[in-house]
Structure 1
Amino acid sequence: MNILKRVQISLLVLVLPAAFVSAAQAQGPSLAEEMTRFLECYPVELVVRDQQNHAIRQKDVCLATIYHETGAQPLWVTADGPGTRAAVILKYLKNAAEEGLDAGSYEVEEIEALWHDPSLSSLARLDTLLTFNAVKYIHNVNQGEFEPYVVDPELFAEAGKQQFTPVDIVERMIAATDLDRFFRQMPPQNMHYRALKAGLAVYRNMEQSTALEEIERNTTIHPGDNDGRIPLIRGRLALFAGRVPNQDERTLYDDHLEEQILLFQELHGLQRDGLIGPQTIAALNISPAERVEQIRVNMARWRWQDHDIGEEYVLVNIANFRLYAYRGGELQLNIPVIVGQFQHQTPVFSDQIKYLEINPFWNIPPSIAVNEKLSELRENPHSLVEKNIRLFSSWQEDGIELDSTAIDWAGVTPGQMARYKLRQDPGPSNALGQLKFVFPNHYSVYLHDTPTKNLFTKERRYFSHGCIRVSTPVQLAVFMLEENEQSWNEAKIRELIASQKRKVLRISPPLPVHLTYQTAWVDKNGRIHFNEDIYARDKKLLKALNIK
């Protein structure tokens, strides 16, 4: 596992453009003298990965080194005060909350207090603050805060996955002819992140409304009922829909209100039954301020993902049990999926689907063989045969096929069981179904069909060992292959399936796939949805993001 090494900003020698150095030197020695007083160590926790070192180390390097080539001259201010580029930096620091970042983390108050102070000491201090906080902001908005990885490197393994070089960032800032455009391009530019950012602004506006009165959770309200809580529910729905709540005191649960409740349930991952029961009331009682934090958490997750998600790609939202396929920015497929159980959580990462298998074999992982199949065999030595699973002496190519009914399984240890290779042949009972979509990765996770179609009728679909089971795999296969030079269609794919022979079809070019965990997301109509936090990650992540 990649291990974190914690370092403070390592700002080494920065070679600035000659023209910039000359302009800086023209400011005179007095400001340079003041600059030297403020070139102290300004630490910010940035993280790089070190696979060789399991220790957490600190390395103190002075921020002063960034000014080495200027002869301690300022980067953003002159003796006349802060320049236009300084104003650009301040603008983005002040607006950090728009990106879901902690606006209090960038020393804005101190920067503004120094802004109009003409003293050389204040100007020197101002320049170093602008440099330090600009680097910190760019890191956080581009690659995400590293605190989650520090808090739990296993749970938030994807946080801050890329190395970050502050010197390079400052060089790019100085070289940028349009610094405002440079800052605008730092956050993820994909439509999913941008939509959440717009949703964040909407809920921040709601957050300014008066405190919400708690709706009592006692009896369930059915359509046609009269209930004293109805006026409060109407007002809450109006607030969440962006309307001004009126003073409607009617207590009847009428047809119009039922339509609003059904939509609310759809947008909040609840069963669309029209009943105002405990779960629906609990969702109605979640304040806009709490939703703001939930959106912030999910924006942070997008900063960890690959920023270039592609024009054509597959996206799985683990928390929503759905798979989406996009082409040219347009949604092509929206498919129910089954994801990993709580104890076998589906990982978050991006990769490329390189091929699909029709009528695949299932090589049963040793963990499943040890934890599940061994106990089944001890109770029923014919269980492998009954499921069309063959047994081999080892995982080597020269492994010998064995008769699983002739082995005394009571005497087989877990260690011995792990050395056996169990392979289920293609067929209607194969656990992978008739199609498997492969993107080789160290998690051994893939997309596949399943014979247990009945599970897709469940609201909460976390039943797998980590892989993603697809409800309509033929549709997905057509999406991947229909623009191939052979013009694959559903009829051709079903013909291959009917042959019951294994066949591998290459995906060319490979198709990006993004496994995400989003408890807040925006649909194609611009409506924000909130899901259940099925793996209980949000609170822990939010706590990490709010560490001061």
Structure 2
Amino acid sequence: MDRRQFLAGVAALAAPAASARAQGPGTAPRTMVASPEAMQRLGERLTRLEADGLDPRWYGLTAEVPRDPGLIARATSAVMADLVQGRVAAIRGRTDLQRDLPPNTLNNWMQQVADAAEPAEVLNRASAPTPELTLLKSGLAAAQARAAAGWPSFPVGGRVLEPGATDETRVEALRARLVATDAELAANPGSGPVYDENLQAAVRRFQAAVGTDVDARIGRSTMTALNRSPQDLVNQLRVAMDMHRGAPPRPRDRRVEVNIPDYRLKVYDSGRIIMDMAVVVGSVARQTPMIQTRLTAVQFNPPWGVPARNAKEDVLPRLRRDPAAVVARGFRIFQRVDGEMVEVDATTVDWRAVNPDRFPYIIRQDAGDSSALGRLKFIMPNGDDIYMHDTPDRQYFPLAERARSSGCIRLEKPMDFLMLVLDGMPGWDRARADRVVAGRATSVSAIRRQLPVRLHYNTVTAEAGELRIRQDVYGLDAAYMRAMDTRQRVPGIPMAAAF
């Protein structure tokens, strides 16, 4: 809907029940018809907004039940807008955030509130209109209960706590922390300074739940997860709920989706997952951007033009250690001389004297088994030069935390993905694909069925009726929560209209 329609709906709903303000020439008055008793029940419902992931303070409310019908109506209009279309309209760089409500959806909800004998019931329906939001709301309630009870901290730093170790301070701290959130351990907590099998099993359950390596070792990542505050989890679920509101239904057509914090690529077709694989995504320092594009081509045996940042930060340190080893991996060094590109013998350069801030070389890596791109590169046009590719560095895929690339997406099963991408293209089968790869010549094949690709960021997902929660690896949930908290109210206009 446009802003004029929205403000008209807000103004009509915010009118006190005792007035008979008309919406325009020839229209009947649109006012809240609820009884004073029902309005008070609506006021009581507004005191429970935290169960919806909202903060009553955003709407001028306190912990006390509001009594003024005008305040109740104005707050209800703003709350309804946030429940129906989400509180955060957009964030720079988050192309994965989508709002796509049919026209007049919000006005229709507001009309229901205005016409309802029990407007609190309409608010309840708007708060969880989908199975996903119902599940998220249940998860939020559990997280809020845990936050109210709190949980002990675990000492940060020091050596890795290994299974079977004896440590009077840290083992008891670990046990106390997990008893607060693990019902199975709470029923049989054990005691003593030994990191025994019972406690190890609880740690493995915790690691599986938060997405760290399931090895019972208490290293940096597990320490960090153990020391997340209960409120962090609450806010993570609040963000997930807001992202769901007003989002369009997922397409039924075949498409590729990469969920960055879950480190997984999935291919959907007609609502089913037809392919699911691990991926390696950009590190915290070189984050994979959110992108919506299409697969247009596949390159066999691709060479790699090393980006300037990779050349300075990754390849230069290797050249300083052992330039011959770099050359053996297929890297070639070039320098522009008198306008022409000239290849340089890497073993003749004093790399320790090269200033990375004025790096004068261009580095390329030939196609081959050692190429950073492996044998396949999947091209998807975008402004960030991001693509999906094979990789010789297979050691990262078994790890739980896979934010380790320079921004591009490394595929666990590139040949399987290739065959899916080439599906329906005459003359292509696995045997031919294997021959082209084995031929080692660089070639490009356009893709007939250009599948949509979406790189997105959802730390909370629903799978088989259960919530899957992952770490906020890039801090985007935290940024989203700040946007929810700091959205500015436009003077003289209800908060629901301030976008």
Relative to the length of structure 1, the TM-score reads 0.63
Is 1:360 the counterpart of 2:302? The answer is: yes
Q: Deviations over 1:146-191 (max 9, x none)?
A: 5xx4xxx4xx5448676999x9555554788999999968989696
Q: Give the equivalent residue in structure 1 for 2:4.
A: 12
The equivalent residue for 1:45 is none
Aligned equivalents of 2:242, 2:429: Cα separation in 1 = 39
Q: Deviations over 1:38-72 (max 9, x none)?
A: xxxxxxxxxxxxxxxxxxxxxxxxxxxxx652689
Measured after TM superposition, the shift of residue 481 of structure 1 is 4.0
C-alpha RMSD over aligned residues: 5.6
Map 1:97-108 onto structure 2 (within 5 A).
97-107=50-60
Report the equivalent of 1:346. 288
Query: CA 1:543–1:511 in 2, change beyond 3 Å: closer, same or farther?
Result: same
Q: 1:250 and 1:422, CA in 2 relative to 1: closer, same or farther beyond 3 A?
A: closer
Find the counterpart in structure 2 of residue 140 from structure 1. 86
Of residues 359, 365, 382 in structure 2, which corresponds to 1:441?
382
2:24 alignment counterpart:
69
Equivalent residue number for residue 289 of structure 1? 231
Equivalent position SS for 1:347: coil
1:480 lines up with 2:435 in the alignment = no
Where in structure 2 are there 5+ consecutive unaligned residues? Answer: 488-499
Amino acid of the structure 2 residue aligned with 1:469: R
Whether the 8 Å contact between 2:256 and 2:266 is mirrored in structure 1 is yes
Deviations 1:415-462 (A, max 9, x none): 9999x9976554334332211122211122111112333454666544
Render the CA deviation track for 1:388-411: whole Å, top value 9, x for unaligned.
6597989xxxxx98542499999x
Q: Match for 1:475: what amino acid?
A: D
Letter in 2 for 1:387: G
Is the CA contact (8 Å cut-off) linking 1:14 and 1:69 kept in structure 2? no
Name the CA distance, whole Å, in 2 between partners of 1:336 and 1:463: 13
How much does 1:469 deviate? 1.6
- Tell me the equivalent position of 1:471: 412
Cα shift readout 1:256-295 (whole Å, capped 9, x = no counterpart):
4432322222222333332456754553454543321233
2:150 corresponds to 1:207:
no
Between the aligned partners of 1:248 and 1:414, the Cα distance in structure 2 is 54
Q: How many residues align?
A: 469
- Mean CA deviation greater in 98-107 or 384-393: 384-393
**Distance across 1 between alignment mates of 2:406 and 2:162:** 38
Q: What is the alpha-carbon distance in structure 2 between the residues aligned to residue 137 and residue 197 of structure 1?
A: 12
1:528–1:206 distance in 2 versus 1, CA, 3 Å? farther
What's the offset of the Cα at 1:347?
0.6
Q: Is the 8 A contact 2:255 2:268 kept in 1?
A: yes
The answer to which structure, 1 or 2, has the higher relative contact order (CA under 8 A, 6+ apart) is 2
1:213-260 alpha-carbon deviations (Å, 9 max, x no partner): 445568836338595876775565455345694475543654344323
Q: Do 2:302 and 2:376's aligned partners in 1 also have CA atoms closer than 8 Å?
A: yes
The structure-2 alpha-carbon separation of the partners of 1:14 and 1:517, relative to structure 1 and needing over 3 Å to count, comes to: closer
- 1:321 equivalent to 2:253? Answer no
SS class of match (1:515): strand
The CA distance in 1 between the partners of 2:319 and 2:165, in whole Å, is 56
Segment of structure 1 superposing worse, 428-437 or 268-277: 268-277
State the match for 1:535 in structure 2. 474
Is 1:240–2:228 an aligned residue pair? no
Say if 1:100 and 1:200, in contact at 8 Å, map to a contact too.
yes
After TM superposition, the structure 1 = structure 2 runs for residues 33-432 of structure 1, keeping only pairs within 5 Å, are 35=21, 68-69=23-24, 74-78=29-33, 81=35, 97-107=50-60, 113-114=66-67, 122=70, 127=73, 129-140=75-86, 144=88, 149=91, 153=92, 157-158=94-95, 168=104, 170-173=106-109, 196-208=136-148, 210-215=149-154, 220=161, 222-223=163-164, 236-237=177-178, 239-241=180-182, 245-246=186-187, 248-251=189-192, 253-276=195-218, 280=222, 283-300=225-242, 308=250, 310=252, 312-365=254-307, 387=330, 402-405=341-344, 426-432=367-373
Q: Please state how far the C-alpha of 1:134 moved relative to its aligned partner.
A: 2.9
Summarize the Cα distance change of 1:11–1:468 in structure 2 as closer, same or farther, 3 Å threshold.
closer
CA distance in 1, matches of 2:208, 2:357: 48
The structural deviation recorded for 1:334 is 4.2
Q: Is the 8 A contact 1:381 1:405 kept in 2?
A: no
Query: Which amino acid in the other structure matches residue 526 of structure 1?
Result: E
Pair 1:389–1:283, CA change in 2 (3 A):
closer
Contact 1:319 1:518 in 2 (8 A): yes
For 2:236, the aligned partner's letter is Q
Distance 1:355 1:104, change over 3 A: farther
Cα distance between partner residues in 1 of 2:440 and 2:37 = 71
**Residue 494 of structure 2 is aligned to residue 494 of structure 1:** no
Is the alpha carbon distance of 1:463 and 1:277 closer, same or farther for their aligned partners in structure 2, counting shifts above 3 Å? Answer: closer
Q: Which amino acid aligns with 2:58?
A: S
| Structure 1: segments with no counterpart, 5+ residues | 1-8, 18-23, 36-66, 395-399
What amino acid sits opposite 1:448 in the alignment?
A: H
User: Which deviates the most, 342-351 or 221-230?
Assistant: 221-230
Shift of 1:543: 3.5
Q: Which residue of 1 aligns with 2:497?
A: none
Structure 2 CA distance, aligned partners of 1:82 and 1:496?
A: 76
Q: Is residue 333–residue 344 contact of structure 2 (8 Å, CA) maintained in 1? A: no
Question: Residue 512 of structure 1 is aligned with which of 442, 445, 452?
Answer: 452
Q: Matches of 2:139 and 2:327 in 1, distance apart?
A: 51
